[in-house]
Structure 1
Amino acid sequence: MNEVINFISQPWPWYVAGPVIAVVMFSLLMLGNNFGISANLRSLCSIMGAGKHCEFFDFNWRAQVWNLIFALGLIIGGLIAHTYLTPSTEVNISQETISDLQQLGIENPGSSLVPQNLFSWESLATVKGFIMLVIGGFLIGFGTRYAGGCTSGHAISGLSDLQLPSLIAVIGFFIGGLFVTYLVLPFLLTV
């Protein structure tokens, strides 16, 4: 029994996780569905009645109930994994990364999943926190809508469906991520 708990509480190796993702994606493709988390936000807005005020939200959200259930399963699975299967809340990152983050002003890097001096209610009242949380959140939402989906939708579902727009979007995600990581974030953290 301890071996099973130990296996479950560790990150799964690629040769287990990869085929599981492939089976899920193949099943969705065979059923004519596309995976994407950001589509759930549209469905939730439609459920709340946004379709009365905006044509974009006026669609049959009932056809997307499976995706809402899938997203709920992700949340519940994450909660179970964090609460019962995570041996430590400490993040396992290299000493080099810790020293790089400390040079950028991150306090206690690796002690929690996200740096508390950047992602907390207290940091929201600072200029740096407002830019990162509010402006960054707006840009993510705008980019998701403009690209026609989120990173998971394009990188997992779109690429497995051999969609050229998804390939272009994923390349853009990586270029944008590198740009922000090496040019914007160091500047923003020193403000």
Structure 2
Amino acid sequence: MIEFISQPWPWYVSGPAIVLVMGLLLLAGKTFGVSDTLRTTCAIGGAGKVSEFFKIDWKDQLWNIVFVIGAILGGLIASTILQQPEAIALSPDTVDKLQALGIQNAGENFLPEEIFSWEGFVTVRGFVMMVIGGFLIGFGARYAGGCTSGHAITGLSNLQLPSLIAVIGFFIGGLIMTYFILPSLLTL
């Protein structure tokens, strides 16, 4: 049973599952987006006393918090119980390029230890990638009026032009990060 669960699900299973969830959310009058969870959390903590932005009925948004808790628990389960023992299949060219950038054991772990570890975090590279990068992602999600999941799943399925523009911007930003900024950061 665990072997079946730990394998990637084919598109014809996961795609309709996303459609089903989106349909249920539309019927319930809800929108999907992970960045709304921060707003809900701040509203629970009383941030509405400081800023009008956080004056929302947070009880109506508790499902967002349940979703994020489920995503965190799902990630924990996937990384511990369902972790594959064999290395990740990377092309030899990718391994060579990553090793040239300082990632020595490319493919052994899903997340390279040179970046995603406590030792990597206390370096200049780790600080820039985790702290400054995290701040920029949060700022960008707020500036764009939502996160990648909200725009790409909910916004595009509702045919919203601002979501299309945001998703195009996300892809352009991802390409710039992958081909220009990340190689510079990995050589710090």
Q: Which TM class, normalised by the smaller chain length? A: over 0.9
Partner of 1:53: 50
* Most deviating of 120-129 and 180-189: 120-129
* Structural mapping, 1:68-147, within 5 Å: 68-88=65-85, 90-147=87-144
Distance 2:75 2:98 in 1: 26
Q: Which residue identity is paired with 2:36? A: A
Q: Which residue identity is paired with 2:156? A: L
Aligned equivalent of 1:168, options 141, 161, 165? 165
Deviations 1:137-173 (CA, angstroms, capped at 9, x unpaired): 1101100110111111111111111111111101000
* Most deviating of 147-156 and 73-82: 73-82
1:31 aligns with 2:31: no
- Say if 1:86 and 1:125 are closer, same or farther in 2 by CA, change over 3 A: closer
Partner of 1:179: 176
Q: List gaps (5 residues or longer) in structure 2.
A: none
Say whether the 8 Å CA contact 1:151–1:170 is kept in structure 2: yes
Deviations 1:77-120 (CA, angstroms, capped at 9, x unpaired): 33333333333274333322222111111121122222111122
What number of residue pairs does the alignment pair up? 188
Partner of 1:44: 41
Q: Aligned-residue CA RMSD in angstroms? A: 1.6
Distance 1:144 1:58 in 2: 19
Partner of 2:156: 159
- Say if 1:86 and 1:115 are closer, same or farther in 2 by CA, change over 3 A: closer
Distance 2:76 2:137 in 1: 24
Distance 2:94 2:116 in 1: 19
TM-score normalised by structure 1 residue count? 0.91
TM-score normalised by structure 2 residue count? 0.92
1:16 aligns with 2:13: yes
Distance 1:23 1:65 in 2: 20
Distance 1:155 1:43 in 2: 21
Say whether the 8 Å CA contact 1:89–1:112 is kept in structure 2: no
Distance apart, 1:32 and its partner CA: 0.9
Distance 1:181 1:21 in 2: 27
